[in-house]
Structure 1
Amino acid sequence: MRINNYSFLTFSCYFQIIKNTDLEELRELGSGTFGTVYHGKWRGSDVAIKRIKKSCFTGRRSEQERLTFDFWKEAGILSKLHHPNVVAFYGVVQDGPGGTLATVTEFMVDGSLRQVLLRKDRHLDRRKRLIIAMDAAFGMEYLHSKNIVHFDLKCDNLLVNLKDLSRPICKVGDFGLSKIKRNTLVSGGVRGTLPWMAPELLNGGSIKVSEKVDAFSFGIVLWEILTGEEPYANMHYGAIIGGIVNNTLRPTIPSYCDPEWRRLMEQCWAPNPAARPSFSEIASRLRVMSTAAQTRKSGS
């Protein structure tokens, strides 16, 4: 599909246009509603290639134009983000198979944090889990400083590199739902993924929301990192929605959870957005906890 000139001229000045012939696909990493992600090479360097499915552009012309515009807008946003805990964006492919679009980003060798937590051969002690959580908080602090709300923060969208066994690296990725914060209005459909969604995203109607929806999601992420499990795994969606909206449902905190982790987690998923900490505060508290864990490990 051809992109409309307005989208291209408006956003293309921000980033590199990468030729499809310069890319080599090695293997598929995963597939979703809108696209398929591959591990590939771009001129010898490892990259992740996210190809937008052609089916996304087979609907009404107005819908095609909206999707195309959103794609270029997102690429424009991503190209301006530069932080060690945010996945690096390299450029856009506009001459993929059948004229399809793709984004090319940094490749994280161990994939998503969800995949790592499921792998029993990778033992992450408390210190490493704290470092991973702290990295994610640093990345989110940066995004919020740029007025970007992620809207879909979960372990599937946190990417990790465990090559250095003593110091794991975690980066925030997958900005498919991200929006510039100014007067963020949520209407017409759900934004995010159950059960990481804040109550204010689920209680119906058109409402203004703040970056605190990401803090709520991070509370659930902290529980995932702590337990290695997925929240509400055996519950029906209807029951999850009702429980979150009525503030009667939160993941069960295991008895081995230490008080600081519990306190931070519970504050993040507080019903009232104003009661949730900022990511600056979250990152600061996790740094203190991480330093204490390192001191304990050194002293043992």
Structure 2
Amino acid sequence: MRIGEASIMPESFTDDDCKSSGAVGSTRHLSHLTVDDEALDETSRTHHEPKEIQDSIESIVEEGLPGDDGEQLQKDKEDNGVGKPSSGSSSSPSMSRNDPADPNLRLHRKVAEIAANAYKRASAQSQVLSRSKLEDVGLVQFKELEIGEFLGKGSFSNVHEITKVTCCRATTGVEHTVKFADDTPNITEGNRLTINALSKMVSDPRELLTDHYQREDNAGENGGTYRYAVKFLKEEIRSTPQKYAIGTADLVVEGMFLASLSHPNIIKVRGLPEGGVKSLTSVHRKYGYFLVLDRLFDTLSERIYKKWQKEHRIEVTRNLFGRMNKEEKDARNRDLAVRLKVAFDVCAALKFLHGKSIIYRDLKPENLGFDIRGDIKLFDLGLVKELHPSDRDKRGNYKLSMAGTPRYMAPECGMYQPYNLSADTYSLSMILWEIVTLNKPLKDFTYSRLKNEVFIDGFRPSMKGIFNKRIRALINSGWSQNPSKRPSMDLVYGELREEYMRLAPGAVPEAQTSHNRRRSTFVSKRATGLLSIRHLMKLDSTDSLIKEDSKDE
């Protein structure tokens, strides 16, 4: 098999599968190989896991779905409140995998261990991941969520609408009392009591989920009803040990990144499993690890091909037999401005990530969705990677696993070469071309053709029909074959901002171009922050408060 073809293998593909051949790929995987157009839209990656994690995964594969009728299994059952089983029940082949006395509990324990180790490794050198951010995330049990309509799926996970949240009790355990210096100005005993009372009244994240899972009206561009969705591993993934381990580890790390990041164009995580990865060994482990997220209503791909493209064809038909007058040109520019605003917002999210040395690695229209207000959100952070200066080579690149979706993947990534943040710039340029032209890039390409013509020879989609010179130049530089010639996300952001403001009708409000605050109505606000307390008590910005309780940080 030629180099690169592994990128359209199933996600379970690892470099260990091809040790014997020395090539990228393995003959035992050839039955899964497809080279049609749809394959270019499948997320893929090779897994370069640390040796201890890879060894754990391999041990799971060797053991399969283990049964254990020994002392450890009995202890597992008792830990889960099951009690002593009847004679012979522990090794019954007909036992349900979801039974509290599940003979596969050892598998779940091993997967929990792998996921915990993946998070530990990700957070060891991280400047981003923060356990203190979990204060604003509700810790829930899956049984407290009522699952509704199927919304979508990825390679590992399914996403369903949440139609009801019934949280039984508060579980944050976070002390909200604010401490003050004795000589803090403007703080009287009465004010002190008032602030502490307000602090205790701040809504618990679980209460927010319970009270606001449904909108009171259908206001919003998409007219939806329910606010939240739940993401969990597919059943077929959970029944395959290797995929189960990798998928769970990805979900755990994704959840922690989402909890630690806050940007108006990045999806917000609202809930995580109570007990963390230990929930995999609890009585209610049927769906494994899960994330409660804001609900999205359509993807960028759906918006392009079901709405914008249809509207554009109607407009083209109207102007087919004559030149456009000024009014028609203005209308075309307004339509383009709407689409550029979406690209601008996506760029803002990537700029935010790059500012924290985080590479996204799987940018595509299917990973971008619109919320109830019509705001674009970057979601599915399963392949994000925080980059560390110590890992950078002399050319400014990093030795990372091949990850992403072939159609939007930078050539250096697809060819298993070291890469850096500029790989995201390449992907954004492909999407910008798609947003402007309303056509699928590299349509009808096979993977072999993509590799040879795009990755190796530098072929790019035609610029015919893109009359905006600034956008043409931006796309051309962004998908340059030479990564060092691609502009930074900061520069792309500036160019898109200027062009959007030039094309948008009338004055553009600052809020539409600042990207510095979320529009979400219900976000857990802690009264322990200096700004919130000063606002409540109208303190001067120079007034000082002593250190807040940081025991959870």
TM-score, normalised with respect to structure 2: 0.48
Distance 1:82 1:27 in 2: 27
- Match of residue 481 from structure 2: 271
Q: CA RMSD in A?
A: 2.7
Select the residue among 277, 280, 290 that pairs with 1:102: 290
- 8 A contact 2:359–2:386 mirrored in 1: yes
Query: For residue 201 of structure 1, what is the aligned residue in structure 2?
Result: 413
Q: CA deviation at 1:56?
A: 2.7
Provide the rounded CA distance (Å) in 2 between the counterparts of 1:66 and 1:35.
Answer: 12
Task: Assess, with a 3 A threshold, how the Cα gap between structure 1 residues 258 and 246 changes in structure 2: closer, same or farther.
Answer: same
1:175 aligns with 2:381: yes
Are 2:20 and 1:20 equivalent residues in the alignment?
no
Cα deviation code 1:49-72 (max 9, x no counterpart): 1111243344457x6545433332
Question: Is 1:289 paired with 2:397?
Answer: no
User: Which is worse superposed, 3-12 or 28-37?
Assistant: 3-12
Distance 1:176 1:257 in 2: 36
Q: Which amino acid aligns with 1:116?
A: R
**Does the C-alpha gap of structure 1 residues 55 and 148 become closer, same or farther in structure 2, counting only changes over 3 Å?**
same
Q: Which amino acid aligns with 1:169?
A: D
CA displacement at 1:220 relative to structure 2: 0.3
- Name the CA distance, whole Å, in 2 between partners of 1:89 and 1:248: 38
Distance in structure 2 (CA, Å) of the matches to 1:17 and 1:162:
24
Partner of 1:157: 367
Partner of 1:72: 252
Counterpart code for 1:179: K
Moved more, 37-46 or 83-92: 37-46
User: C-alpha distance in 2, partners of 1:114/1:66?
Assistant: 27
**1:89-168 matches, cutoff 5 A:** 89-93=269-273, 94=279, 98-109=286-297, 111-120=298-307, 123=311, 125-161=335-371, 163=373, 168=374
Secondary structure of the 2:500 match is helix
1:99 Cα deviation after fit: 4.7
In structure 2, relative to structure 1, the CA distance for the partners of 1:173 and 1:99 (3 Å cut) is: closer
Give CA deviations for 1:101-145 in whole Å, capped at 9, x if unaligned: 211111223x21111111137748111111101100100000111
Between the aligned partners of 2:338 and 2:371, the Cα distance in structure 1 is 12
CA–CA distance in structure 2, aligned partners of residues 283 and 28 of structure 1: 35
Over 3 Å counting, the alpha-carbon distance change for 1:18 and 1:123 in structure 2 is: farther
Q: CA deviation at 1:296?
A: 7.5
- Which amino acid in structure 2 is aligned with residue 104 of structure 1? V
5+ residue gaps, structure 2: 1-107, 124-129, 166-209, 214-226, 274-278, 313-334, 392-397, 509-553
The Cα of 1:100 is off from its aligned counterpart by: 1.5
Q: For residue 191 of structure 1, what is the aligned residue in structure 2?
A: 403
Whole-Å separation in 1 of the counterparts to 2:263 and 2:454: 32
Corresponding position of 2:236 = 55
* Partner Cα distance (2:272, 2:506) in 1: 46
Q: Which amino acid aligns with 2:228?
A: V
Q: Provide the rounded CA distance (Å) in 2 between the counterparts of 1:217 and 1:34.
A: 22
- Aligned residue for 1:49, secondary structure, equals strand
> Conserved in 1, the CA contact under 8 Å of 2:232 and 2:287?
no
Q: Which has the larger radius of gyration?
A: 2
Is residue 84 from structure 1 mapped to residue 264 from structure 2 by the alignment?
Answer: yes
Counterparts in 2 of 1:271 and 1:37: CA distance versus 1, 3 Å:
same
Structure 1: stretches of 5+ with no match in the other structure: none
2:112 maps to which residue? Answer: 4
Tell whether the 8 Å contact from 1:155 to 1:224 is kept in structure 2 after alignment.
Answer: no
Q: In structure 2, how many angstroms separate the alpha carbons of the residues matched to 1:219 and 1:162?
A: 26
Measured at CA, do residues 35 and 162 of structure 1 come closer, stay the same or move farther in structure 2, by a change above 3 Å? closer
Inter-partner Cα distance in structure 2 for 1:59 and 1:108: 29
Q: Return the offset for 1:267.
A: 0.8
Counterpart amino acid of 1:28? F
State how far apart, in whole Å, the 2-side matches of 1:200 and 1:21 are.
45
- Aligned equivalents of 2:466, 2:255: Cα separation in 1: 42
The answer on whether the counterparts of 1:54 and 1:100 sit within 8 Å (CA) in structure 2 is: no
| Residue aligned with 2:151, SS | strand
Q: Deviation at 1:37?
A: 1.1
Question: 1:220 touches 1:269 (CA, 8 Å); kept in 2?
Answer: yes
Change (3 A) 1:144 1:25: same
Question: Does 1:36 pair with 2:223?
Answer: no
> What is residue 524 of structure 2 aligned with on the other side?
none
What is the DSSP-based 3-state SS (H/G/I as helix, E as strand, rest coil) of the residue aligned with 1:98? coil
Q: Deviations over 1:5-47 (max 9, x none)?
A: 6819958945342221232222111123201111224424211
Instruction: Provide the rounded CA distance (Å) in 2 between the counterparts of 1:35 and 1:65.
Output: 13
Q: Deviations over 1:233-292 (max 9, x none)?
A: 212111011112224321112324311111111111011111111111111111100110
Higher strand share: 1
Alignment partner of 1:254 is 2:464: yes
Q: TM-score, normalised by structure 1?
A: 0.85
Contact 1:79 1:91 in 2 (8 A): no
Tell me: CA distance 1:247–1:48, structure 2 relative to 1, closer, same or farther (3 Å): farther
